[in-house]
Amino acid sequence: MKTTLPRQGRIVALVGAESTGKTTLAQDLFRALLARGHDAVVVPETLRTFCDTQGRTPRADEQAALAAEHSRRIREAAERHTLVLADTTALMTAVYSDLLFDDRSLYAEAMAEHARCELTLLTSLDLAWVADGLQRDGPQVREPVDRLVRQALIDAAQPFGIVAGQGDQRLRHALAMVDHMLDAPARVRRNDRDSTGSVRPRWRAVCTHCDDDASCEQHWLTRGLRNGG
């Protein structure tokens, strides 16, 4: 009997320093994508739930379990929905464990889980810092957190897009990157055919970073080959 594997939704991760609009952006993206007919869901930040229910921030010895629980919720959502908006990932727990407790032990597992994300949106520091109870340590930690997040993503060779702008501009910026991700399969199919509609040779490489961007050296190279250069 044929076994049917559970579907896996596409995961969009929203990461970044505190008070950079991650939760607001996740909700705005959710409403915009839902209005377009997408089966989208938001996975709320597990840290926020912890702080609300416990009335405190987690201790050093509670960080690993918190990260694991958030990752579990993201995986579970991906089994039930085609598009998951993760309001942070375990990466953020690893970063704060590093910054606050000098503990770098959570990065390996956090980045292994983060690799499930098809798109990573890093919120920039161009929004004013706003207090939010136990959730926030102060504006002085934003730049160090931003540096640690970027470095972890770079070290893991995990591509990311930076979301900037005020108000609706921030949403439009993020939505454009989500649209680019969602269009990826169609772009691959388009790149598999030449201008006459014929299927291209299977050996042709497709640039995963710019796809159909004519300015990419990938496309100038293949153009030169076709022209005998």
With bands split at pLDDT 50, 70 and 90, how would you rate the model's confidence at 134?
Answer: low
The three-class DSSP label of residue 216 is coil
| In the predicted structure, residue 5 carries a pLDDT above the cut 50 | no
**Mean pLDDT within 101-124:** 97
What is the distance between the alpha carbons of residues 77 and 73, in angstroms, rounded to a whole number? 6
The pTM score is 0.78
What is the distance between the alpha carbons of residues 149 and 16, in angstroms, rounded to a whole number? 7
Residue-wise over 78-104: b if at least 16 C-beta within 10 A, else e? beebebbbbbbbbbbbbbbbbeeeebe
**Mean pLDDT within 214-224:** 39
Task: Note whether 50 and 73 are within 8 A (CB).
Answer: no
Q: What is the CA radius of gyration of the chain?
A: 20
| In the predicted structure, residue 212 carries a pLDDT above the cut 70 | no
* CA distance from start to end of the chain: 53
Strands 119-123 and 40-43: unpaired
Catalogue the E-assigned strands of 57-97: 83-87
The single-letter code of the amino acid at 216 is: C
